[in-house]
Amino acid sequence: MNKSLQDEIKASYLKKNAYNLAKDTLENLRMAAILSLFINAVFTVGILNFLMNDTMIMLGFIYLYLLFIITALYSNHALKYNKIHVKHTYRYVLIFLSLMSIGLIYMTVYLDNNIIPLFLILFLVMYPTLFLLKNLDLILFITLSGVIFIVIHALFTKQEQDVFILNTFIIFVSQLIGIPINLMVIKLRRKELYLKELFIAYSHLDELTKLPNRRAFNLHIEEVFNDNKNNHIPLGVALIDIDDFKLYNDAYGHLEGDNVLEQLGYIIQNHVNPNAFFARFGGEEFIGVFTNQTNEQIQTCLSNICQDILNSKIINQKTKHEVTVSIGFHNEVDLSKTTYMKVIDYADIALYKAKIYGKNRIEMYTEE
């Protein structure tokens, strides 16, 4: 695998991995909020008489109810409408954990002295297991939450020394167990996502040219077409066909023909950029997809590809000429009344014109 392909896979992995982690986090957050509502309801029923006589504890439970309801609704909205932003999700998780900790600490301060708040300890220590926080943040959160809890108990609760030591012991045991387990889960999850992305990258790669294959192109064109259509952005498609390739194969055999395809694939790779996507379309044909580009910009990119192919000095001994390509392209500005298949068809018509007009040229689709 060449370095450019490795960089492409790595960049794709990092981007999709971050998105997948954010999506997983929101799904876990929604599940945690719903589960917390249920647990809160159980505790509310179990100590209802106690709550009716203690306004401060009741306010604490109401605060947690509102926090969990808002969290569940927000997470569900983001997932349903695909409004997932990696940075916003990460900050939202930290805000949620902080607000929840404040609520639990508030309730702990006003709990009856005879009630050992083990459920609060579980909440405070085990909640981070639901989220894929960064390693350092995870360790800091678990450690600080435990320390704060111990300080609060020492300052504001009237517990016997043995009970306080027991609670402290439970907290630190939970810390020792929770931190390595969380780090292991994060490491395994990241490795799993990387291997999955690597597998997808290889399954979408043409082995010979090291360009995306037809499957990858189909996925890309559909996604780009819909995005450009919704955002009123032009979409361009170019078809690149090797001139007299059949004669070359007949003269040298398919192995030499494969060598030509490999060299052209390498040349085309050098012209990939955020606005230009290239793939092997099939046989001796390549296809390019251009986003938010003018006709002149597309023409310049394609001309550079043609020039690089000429500079490679690949000779077709059958025709006694250097290997060249013919290119047809169409740039559609208004996508509201068309499909991407029609855009490809128009590019194919332009390619046919390039062939009948003498080959080794670039033609743009016109309605003439």
> For every residue of the chain, which 3-state class applies, written as one string?
CCHHHHHHHHHHHHHHHHHHHHHHHHHHHHHHHHHHHHHHHHHHHHCHHHHHCCHHHHHHHHHHHHHHHHHHHHHHHHHHCCCCCHHHHHHHHHHHHHHHHHHHHHHHHHCCCCCCCHHHHHHHHHHHHHCCCCHHHHHHHHHHHHHHHHHHHHHHCCCCHHHHHHHHHHHHHHHHHHHHHHHHHHHHHHHHHHHHHHHHHHHCECCCCCCECHHHHHHHHHHHHHHHHHHCCCEEEEEEEECCHHHHHHHHCHHHHHHHHHHHHHHHHCCCECCEEEEEEECCEEEEEEECCCHHHHHHHHHHHHHHHHHCCCEECCCCEECCEEEEEEEECCCCCCCHHHHHHHHHHHHHHHHHCCCCCEEECCCC
The CB-based long-range contact list for 351-356 (8 Å cut-off, 24+ gap) reads 351/239, 351/241, 351/326, 351/327, 352/328, 353/328, 354/326, 354/327, 354/328, 355/241, 355/243, 355/326
CATH of residue 251's domain is 3.30.70.270
Same domain for 39 and 183, yes or no, is yes
* 265 in a structural domain: yes
Residue that is last in its domain, among 182, 202, 222 = 202
Per-residue pLDDT of the chain (368 residues; tens, 9 = 90+): 444 444 554 555 455 566 666 777 777 778 777 877 887 777 677 666 666 676 777 777 788 888 889 988 988 888 887 777 766 776 777 677 677 767 766 665 565 444 445 445 545 545 544 444 555 655 666 666 666 666 666 665 555 555 555 455 555 555 554 555 555 555 556 666 666 666 666 677 888 888 888 888 998 899 899 989 988 999 999 999 999 888 888 777 888 888 889 999 999 988 988 889 999 998 899 999 999 999 999 999 999 999 999 888 876 555 566 888 999 999 999 998 899 999 999 999 999 999 999 899 999 998 86
Whole-number pLDDT of residue 1: 43
Whole-number pLDDT of residue 216: 85
Same domain for 137 and 7, yes or no, is yes
- Determine how β-strand 276-282 pairs with β-strand 285-291: antiparallel
Same domain for 101 and 9, yes or no, is yes
* 300 in a structural domain: yes
55-80 and 3-46 helices, crossing angle to 10°: 150
In the chain, the number of structural domains is: 2
Same domain for 356 and 274, yes or no, is yes
pTM exceeds cut of 0.85: no
Same domain for 173 and 293, yes or no, is no
Same domain for 192 and 240, yes or no, is no
Same domain for 191 and 238, yes or no, is no
Same domain for 352 and 237, yes or no, is yes
Whole-number pLDDT of residue 276: 92
The domain of 84 spans 3-202
* 207 in a structural domain: no
* 162 in a structural domain: yes
Same domain for 149 and 40, yes or no, is yes
